[in-house]
């Protein structure tokens, strides 16, 4: 018995390109939901390169519990068919966000899963349909949040404690880490996100004389290099 696998790959592109699910293009690498707005939008399109329609399912999950569903948001339409050469807009609507903090960002994940339809040839055969999921960050930003993300990066407090790097984020912004250079050498062990008000202790060796250079990802998905700093 022949088994054919209909698979599609999620490609991580550079910041100005959308993420790709074969024929399904996700129009951004992150969504910033301004609390004063009624909704946030995300464009999806089917490039039609393979001529295949897709069944698309979307939902929001907590950042720290990716298998759960977040009660604070709904996504509409939650399930729809996306034909070749067509587009659609996902509307993310805050329905239960009144209990979220008003002095700092809240971080969630927006999930988009696309399942390709079977071709005429596949319908008469045993075919394993493989769906891959694109997950992007969803930032819920309160209207009264003070400062900016670049200012938040500048306010990060870097310390060498017990010979290890510790970083504290006193701001209300989530700082998404791209890379950390110590004395111009890339280091491993940084958290993916330095959350508002949090202190992260890492396994990275650090001395007070070391030079630190953080690259972070801004609201538009581009990588920005911060000014070099020393622990203090």
Residue 213: predicted pLDDT = 98
Alpha carbon of residue 207 to chain centroid:
32
pLDDT in tens, 58-86: 999 999 999 999 999 999 999 999 999 99
Q: Average per-residue pLDDT in the chain?
A: 88
**Complete domains list, the chain, with CATH:** 4-141 (2.60.40.10), 149-225 (2.60.40.10)
Alpha carbon of residue 227 to chain centroid:
24
Q: How many residues does the chain have?
A: 232
Tokens of 105: 């960002």
13-42 mean pLDDT: 76
pTM: 0.85
pLDDT at 4 over 50: no
pLDDT in tens, 87-121: 999 999 999 999 999 999 999 999 999 998 866 66
User: ∠ CA 78-83-84 to the nearest 5 degrees?
Assistant: 135
Q: CB-based contacts of 161: which residues, under 8 Å, 6+ apart?
A: 201
34-47 mean pLDDT: 96
């Amino acid at each position: 018995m022949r088994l054919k696998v209909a698979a599609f790959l999620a490609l991580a592109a550079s910041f100005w390109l959308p993420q790709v699910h074969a024929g399904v293009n996700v129009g951004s690498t992150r969504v910033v939901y301004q609390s004063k707005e009624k909704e946030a939008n995300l464009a999806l399109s089917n490039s039609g390169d393979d001529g295949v329609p897709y069944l698309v399912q979307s939902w929001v999950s907590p950042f720290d519990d990716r298998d759960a569903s977040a009660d604070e948001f709904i996504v509409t339409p939650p399930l729809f068919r996306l034909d070749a050469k067509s587009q659609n807009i996902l509307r993310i609507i805050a329905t239960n966000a009144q209990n979220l903090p008003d002095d700092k960002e809240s971080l969630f994940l927006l999930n988009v899963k696309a399942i390709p339809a079977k071709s005429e040839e596949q319908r008469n055969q045993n075919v394993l349909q493989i769906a891959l999921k694109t997950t992007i960050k969803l930032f819920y930003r309160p209207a009264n949040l003070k400062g900016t993300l670049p200012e938040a990066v500048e306010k990060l407090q870097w310390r060498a404690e017990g010979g290890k790097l510790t970083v504290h984020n006193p701001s209300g912004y989530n700082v998404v880490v791209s890379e950390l250079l110590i004395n111009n050498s890339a280091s491993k062990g940084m958290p993916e996100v330095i959350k508002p008000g949090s202190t992260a202790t890492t396994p990275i060796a650090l001395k007070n004389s070391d030079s630190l250079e953080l690259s972070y990802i801004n609201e538009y998905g581009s990588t920005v290099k911060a000014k070099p700093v020393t622990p203090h």
